[in-house]
Chain A
Amino acid sequence: MADVLTDTAPDTAAAVPEYPMQRDARCPLAPPPAVHGLRDGKPLSKVRIWNGSTPWLITRHADQRALLTDPRVSDDDLEPGFPYVNAHRAEIAPHTPRMITNTDAPEHTRLRRTVNAPFLVKRIEAMRAPVQKIVDELIDDMLAGPNPADLLTALALPVPSLVIAELLGVPYEDHDFFQRNSSIALDSAASPQEAREASGALAAYLDKLIGLKLENPGEGVLSEMAGRVNSGEMTRTEAVHMGVAMLIAGHETTATMISLGTLALLQNPGQLALVRDTDDPKVIAGAVDELLRYLTIVQTGVRRVAKEDIELGGVTIRAGEGMIFDLHAANWDPEAFPEADRLDITRSARQHQGFGYGPHQCLGQNLARLELQVVYGTLYRRIPTLRLAAPVEQLAFDRTGTTYGVACLPVAW
């Protein structure tokens, strides 16, 4: 009955909660409490977003799996009713070329297969030694530098930046430029103008680099894409946008998992001891997936729109209605993960949806897992006395960006 009402009644402001929802400041690592209420009461319900529209919020793990693999559910952000994350995304959609992040099968499948090769499990595994070297050197520098230090600047931000640069084949001297522009382009607090300029600067730079690689192919993803441009498999514009997407998608996310993962472990010393004292790579790999589940740092939700009417659990999602998949709600769904509010690195968390689900599930997930395995497997072992150097209450959490993280994490040892 309640479902029928929300389906047909006009969406009055009182009946429809605002999304994103507020977290409880006392539990900064937990999802907003109201999300649990929706999941356990009305798992499919409408929410109001920044532009006044009222897409569906999908909160259960099982519903997300069903809908995110449903061919009637579209990632095409030019379809009417698409629930954009913010004004900037709405504004750039018509000017963004079609690529993996805004297409559906069969186009999506074709495009994704052109960028997959560097992310093959065996090729990512081959990066383990270089990633270990990057992490070891950064920890050497951190130990040689001031104590306390900010974990973000000392380790969390440079690791993914150096690793993506290695993956793409970007020269080291351009890293500051990258770090700055990719964080502005991602920041939903930035004005559309600022965000556009930052993405533009990155695109222009990558275009120049791809131009060089078209003539002189070398190592890395950009060279590989240049090869596909030469053979007519993709256009140069597609290659540039793909490069920008990888940078933006892989930098802040991984950095946040390094810093927030460390914060979560420092708050759970028993779990930290398990990670620190193990020799078993499987235990570390389990800890990575459990932290990805527990923290679910992508806080804006995965956005889609229905292309046809879809019936689910007695509710009809109409063609043209938007859908937001709240990943944290699904990852704290007790039906999928008993005692979901407990961090337990020994549980089987492999089916978490921290990387999304369906054909758009994170392209960089194997790389992100590798980076986190190396960092978690090294940092606490090399610095066993690592501790927070500021009270948790003083940490400034970013509640508006795509990823939920802290701008600065003071640590001492």
Chain B
Amino acid sequence: MKVELDEPKCVASGQCVVAAPDVFDQRDDDGVAILLEEHPGAELVDDVREAVAVCPAAAIRLVER
């Protein structure tokens, strides 16, 4: 599983951090999302799916292989 973050679209709502704190964080000065884990393990798939679903900017993609 690979996570892609379209940073220019991110509006820094932090919803991904709430949904998947092991995979996302936020930059201190402007809140833009940071990808902590580009290839998260299978146990985090549900959290990442939730992050994709709640991201208001449609900035996160999950590429499953």
Give the residues in chain A near B19, CB-CB below 8 Å: 350
The answer to whether A116 and B31 have CB atoms under 8 Å apart is yes
In the complex, per-residue mask of A347-378: 1 if CB is within 8 Å of any chain B CB, else 0: 00011000011110101011000000000000
| Chain A CB within 8 A of B18 CB | yes
A120 to B14, CA, bound (A): 7
| Contact indicator B26/A120 (Cβ below 8 Å) | yes
Across the interface, do B50 and A109 meet the contact criterion of CB distance under 8 Å?
Answer: no
- Given the interface contacts A350-B54, A365-B13, does A117 sit within 8 Å of B30 by beta carbon? yes
With an 8 A cutoff between CB atoms, is A402 at the interface?
no
**Looking at chain A's contact residues, is the secondary structure mostly helix, strand, loop, or mixed?**
loop
Residues of A contacting B56 with CB < 8 Å? 69, 356-359, 361
CA distance A174 to B23 in the complex (A): 42
Q: Is the CB of A113 within 8 A of B14?
A: no
User: What is the bound-complex CA distance between A357 and B58, given in angstroms?
Assistant: 10
Interface membership of A205, Cβ < 8 A: no
Do the beta carbons of A69 and B13 come within 8 Å of each other? no
Give residues 37-65 of B contacting A (CB, 8 Å).
Answer: 50, 53-54, 56-58
Q: Are B30 and A114 in contact (CB under 8 A)?
A: yes
CB of B46 to closest CB in A, whole Å: 11
A121 CB-CB contact with B under 8 Å: yes
* Shortest distance from the beta carbon of A249 to any chain B beta carbon, whole Å: 15
In the assembled complex, the CB of A366 is this many whole angstroms from the nearest CB of chain B, namely 6
Whether a CB of chain B sits under 8 angstroms from the CB of A19 is: no
- Tell me, in angstroms, the Cα distance from A351 to B57 when the chains sit together: 13
Is the Cβ of A117 less than 8 Å from the Cβ of B28?
A: yes
- Flag if B31 contacts A361 (CB, 8 Å): no
Q: Which of B9, B31, B54 contacts A351 (CB 8 A)?
A: B54
Q: A69-B57, A109-B8, A359-B57 are in contact. Are A122 and B26 (CB under 8 A)?
A: yes
Q: Is the CB of A119 within 8 A of B30?
A: no
Instruction: Determine the residue in chain A with the shortest Cβ distance to B53.
Output: A351
Instruction: Tell me the bound Cα distance from A104 to B32 in angstroms.
Output: 17
Residues of B within 8 A of A121 (CB): 14, 17-18, 26
Separation of A398 and B35 alpha carbons in the complex (Å)? 44
Total B residues in contact with A, Cβ cutoff 8 Å: 21
How many positions in chain A have a CB within 8 Å of any CB in the partner chain?
24
Chain A residues 101-147 with CB under 8 Å of chain B are 105-106, 108-109, 112-114, 116-117, 119-122
Report the separation of the CA atoms of residues A219 and B12 in the bound assembly, to the nearest whole angstrom: 22
A113 to B28, CA, bound (A): 11
Contacts of B3 in A (CB 8 A): none
Which residue from chain A places its CB closest to the CB of B14 in the assembled complex?
A121
Interface-central residue, A105, A113, A356, A363, by most chain B CB under 10 Å:
A113
**In the complex, B11 has a CB within 8 A of chain A:** yes
- Assuming the contacts A69-B57, A350-B50, asked whether A361 and B30 have C-beta atoms less than 8 A apart, the reply is no
Chain B: which residue is nearest A359 at the CB level?
B11
Q: How far is the CA of A365 from the CA of B55 in the complex (A)?
A: 13
> A116 — which chain B residues lie within 8 A by C-beta?
12, 30-32
Instruction: Provide the bound-state CA to CA distance between A122 and B17, in Å.
Output: 9
> Do A112 and B54 touch (CB < 8 A)?
no
Interface residues of A in 203-220 (CB under 8 A from B): none
> Known contacts A350-B50, A359-B11, A361-B13; is A120 also within 8 Å of B31 by CB?
yes
User: Nearest Cβ in chain B — how far from A348, in angstroms?
Assistant: 9
Q: In the complex the two chains form, is A113's CB within 8 Å of B12's CB?
A: yes
Residues in chain B near residue A114, CB distance under 8 A? 30
In the bound complex, what is the Cα–Cα distance between A121 and B53 (angstroms)?
18
Find chain B residues with CB under 8 A from A351 CB.
53-54
How far, in angstroms, from A389 to B32 measured CA to CA in the complex? 46
- Apart from A116-B32, A357-B56: 5 A-B pairs, beta carbons within 8 A: A109-B9, A117-B30, A119-B12, A120-B14, A366-B18
Interface residues of A (CB under 8 A from B): 69, 105-106, 108-109, 112-114, 116-117, 119-122, 350-351, 356-359, 361, 363, 365-366
- What are 28 A-B contacts defined by CB distance under 8 Å? A106-B8, A108-B11, A109-B8, A113-B12, A113-B32, A114-B30, A116-B12, A116-B30, A116-B31, A117-B31, A119-B12, A120-B12, A120-B26, A120-B28, A121-B14, A121-B17, A121-B18, A121-B26, A122-B26, A350-B53, A351-B53, A356-B56, A359-B11, A359-B56, A359-B57, A363-B13, A366-B13, A366-B18
| Chain A to chain B: the 10 pairs with minimum beta-carbon distance, closest first | A116-B31, A361-B56, A121-B14, A113-B30, A116-B12, A121-B17, A359-B11, A69-B58, A120-B31, A120-B26
